[in-house]
Structures are given as structure tokens and as C-alpha cells.
């Protein structure tokens, strides 16, 4: 139980294009999902908290116009990297918290983005 998937698992795109990453909770409903970014050999940094049906809450320093988050249903959140540049290349990981659950986040397998 509590499986989270991400799609795609990896993507290569040209600079200036936009990339959408999907995060799905497969066997549970998630009112809240989280988006993290991880640079090589570093820890996870929270980018934003996504709540179903409302605007995402972004962490300080994260550009909300560049990283668009949509959480339209209880099982799906999307992160769109707009006008991607090489410095946006990273490993993006989402997590989901059970609706009614208060503490445990379940993580997706991650999406590796390479911007050329």
C-alpha cells in the first residue's frame, strides 16, 4: 500500500522548453503532496507544498512562475518547469501524505531532468 508514481522517470529537453512531471498516489487519496529537488550527492530540498484544490505554497527562494504546480485531484499533482534552463537540471521527487494522515510522507521514484 501507499504507492506513489512519477512520470516520466527521466526527461531530456532543450533549453527554453517546458516540461511537465506527474506525481500520482496509486492506492490512496492524498490531500497534500510535496515537491522536492535533489542535486547530485546532496539532500532533498523542499520546493513547495501542494494542496488539492488550492494554490501551492512555495518555499523561500523558489520561483512560483517558473515551477508551476497543479493539484487538481486527490491522486494527481503536476510540476511544470517552464522555460527550462541547464541550471534546472536536477532530480525531482514528489511525496504524498494520506488524507487524514498526519505524519508520514510516501515518496515517488523521482524524475531526472536534463536540460541541454
Partner 1 sequence: AQSVTQLDSQVPVFEEAPVELRCNYSSSVSVYLFWYVQYPNQGLQLLLKYLSGSTLVKGINGFEAEFNKSQTSFHLRKPSVHISDTAEYFCAVSDGGAQKLVFGQGTRLTINP
Site of interaction with partner 1 (CB under 8 A): 4, 6, 32, 34, 42-46, 49, 93, 95, 97, 102-110, 112
Q: Smallest distance from the beta carbon of 89 to partner 1, in angstroms? A: 15
Shortest separation between residue 83's beta carbon and partner 1, angstroms: 26
- Name which of 17 and 104 has its Cβ closer to partner 1: 104
Supply the minimum distance, in Å, between the C-beta of residue 18 and partner 1: 23
Q: Which is nearer to partner 1, 4 or 115 (CB)?
A: 4
Residue 14 neighbours by CB under 8 Å, 6+ apart: 115, 116
Q: Cβ(61)–Cβ(82) under 8 Å?
A: no
Of 15 and 42, which CB lies nearer to partner 1 in the complex structure? 42
Beta-ladder partners of 36: 46, 93
User: Which positions ≥6 away from 41 have C-beta within 8 Å?
Assistant: none
Backbone torsions φ then ψ of 25, nearest 5 degrees: -90, 120
Report the residue number, 46 or 68, with the smaller CB distance to partner 1.
Answer: 46
How far apart (Å, rounded) are the C-alpha atoms in residues 49 and 29? 16
Amino acid at each position: 500500500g501507499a504507492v506513489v508514481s512519477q512520470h516520466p522517470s527521466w526527461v531530456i529537453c532543450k533549453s527554453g522548453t517546458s516540461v511537465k512531471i506527474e506525481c500520482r498516489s496509486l492506492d490512496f487519496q492524498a490531500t497534500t503532496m510535496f515537491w522536492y529537488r535533489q542535486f547530485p550527492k546532496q539532500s532533498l530540498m523542499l520546493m513547495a507544498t501542494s494542496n488539492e484544490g488550492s494554490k501551492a505554497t512555495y518555499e523561500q527562494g523558489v520561483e512560483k512562475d517558473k515551477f508551476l504546480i497543479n493539484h487538481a485531484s486527490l491522486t494527481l499533482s503536476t510540476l511544470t518547469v517552464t522555460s527550462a534552463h541547464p541550471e534546472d537540471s536536477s532530480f525531482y521527487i514528489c511525496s504524498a501524505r494520506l488524507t487524514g494522515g498526519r505524519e508520514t510522507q510516501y515518496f515517488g521514484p523521482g524524475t531526472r531532468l536534463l536540460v541541454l
